[in-house]
Amino acid sequence: MKIVRFHAHGGPEALRIEEVAEPQPGPGAVRVRAEAIGVGVPDKLMLNGNYPWCPPLPVIPGNELAGTIDAVGDGVTRFAVGDRVYVNARELPQRGGGYVEAMCVPAEVPFALPDGVAAEQAVTMGNYQLAWLLLNRAATPQAGDSVLVHAAAGGAGSALIQLARGMGLTAFGIAGGPDKARYVAELGADGVIDRSGEDVAARVAALTGGTGVDVIYDSVGGRRFQRDFDMLAPMGTVVLFGYLGGHPDPNVYDAMRANFGKSLAMRLFSIHVYDDRPDMRRHAMEQAIAALAAGIAAPRIHATMPLDAAADAIRLLESGTVTGKIVLTP
């Protein structure tokens, strides 16, 4: 069967299409034949050598695969041949492994897909799982509260907008450029700020009647991070969960205290905190899949490409113009 992997870190050109023997499920394992494989930022980080949780070389990237079980090993009771499932590498001892025509995993790993859920939609669930944890664990905004999402046209950002709306929150999104801003509006955001043409802080003040927002979800960080505190409502919280713009200035204490009396908070968040908590992780994923079945999560697919074109898919991802999921099909 066909797989895509790299033997040395590098750019998209380091990805090689290879032929290997089809894996056979051992006792307690199932084989999942891929219908859709998700392409995500961690794939690129792994490839570039910037991913702390990258398995040893050679590496097959890809943390998300959805398809149908076509073989089961001895003793498997949880699934049968023909079941449609979603595999997320967060449930495996090592990340990656998804750029393949088929993979074998322990039977307790996959998530069952509800009827009517398309495989290409299922492979976006990693972002919704993260978004669910951000909205329910990293901070706990309540119905009626407002949230501001940086990079709202991105994978996690767009999931945040949709799940926040589903929870009865007022969701504002920040996007770079008119195309992405339009996309965020289509996701259902209550307000969109195009940072390429607008003053973000002034727009947040206008959108909230000067009060600010209750929670900011920031995956950008960087030098401008301190400005988040000026856009928070009293008792507000900034959740920093990514570093697209680099690490912030370490001196956040003074920025927080500059808003003294507003009693502000910040939290750093990474889903890796749950690496040894499968119960928490799986619960979040089940909530995400339920949101998909209920139509609250309505992922957009940016492009569907053949597995052979994985290098092009990574190039497309790097272009920064993607609005929605890039999906590979075998």
Partner 1 sequence: MQIVRFHEYGGPDMLRVEDVPEPEPGPGEIRVRAEAIGVGAPDILVRTGTDVKTWPLPMTPGNDMAGMVDAVGPGVSRFREGDRVYVTSRELPLRGGGYAEARVVPEAAPFAIPDGIAADRMVALGNYHVAWMLLEHAATPQPGQTVLVHAAAGGIGSALVELAGLRGLTVIGIAGGADKAAHVRDLGAFAVIDRLEEDVAERVAQLTEGAGVDYVYDSVAGPGFARNFDMLANMGTLVQFGYLAGRPAPDAYAEIARNFPRNLGLRIFSIHHFDDKPAVRRAAMERIIDMLTSGDIAPRIHARMKLADAAEANRLLEGGSVIGKLVLVP
List residues binding partner 1 (CB under 8 A). Answer: 137-138, 140, 234-235, 237, 247-254, 256-257, 260-270, 272-273
- Specify the residue, 167 or 292, whose C-beta has the smaller distance to partner 1: 167
Asked if residue 104 lies in contact with residue 25, where contact means CB atoms within 8 angstroms, the answer is: yes
Which structure tokens are listed for 100?
């393949």
Asked if residue 232 lies in contact with residue 262, where contact means CB atoms within 8 angstroms, the answer is: yes
CB of 279 to partner 1, least distance (A): 14
Place of tokens 């199932």: 30
CB of 53 to partner 1, least distance (A): 10
Residues 112, 113, 119, 120, CA torsion sign: negative
Cα 287 to Cα 176: distance, rounded to the nearest angstrom: 29
CB of 160 to partner 1, least distance (A): 17
CB of 219 to partner 1, least distance (A): 14
- Specify the residue, 53 or 79, whose C-beta has the smaller distance to partner 1: 53
Cα 238 to Cα 128: distance, rounded to the nearest angstrom: 19
- Specify the residue, 56 or 260, whose C-beta has the smaller distance to partner 1: 260
- Specify the residue, 256 or 292, whose C-beta has the smaller distance to partner 1: 256
CB of 272 to partner 1, least distance (A): 4
Cα 229 to Cα 216: distance, rounded to the nearest angstrom: 9
CB of 119 to partner 1, least distance (A): 30
> Going by DSSP bridges, is the β-strand pair 213-218/146-149 parallel, antiparallel, or unpaired?
parallel
- Specify the residue, 15 or 256, whose C-beta has the smaller distance to partner 1: 256
User: Which of 138, 159, 157, 137 minimizes the C-alpha distance to 148?
Assistant: 157
Q: Angle at CA 314, nearest 5°, toward 310 and 318?
A: 165
- Specify the residue, 110 or 248, whose C-beta has the smaller distance to partner 1: 248
- Specify the residue, 249 or 308, whose C-beta has the smaller distance to partner 1: 249
> Going by DSSP bridges, is the β-strand pair 146-149/102-106 parallel, antiparallel, or unpaired?
unpaired
Residues 208, 222, 194, 122, CA torsion sign: negative
CB of 100 to partner 1, least distance (A): 28
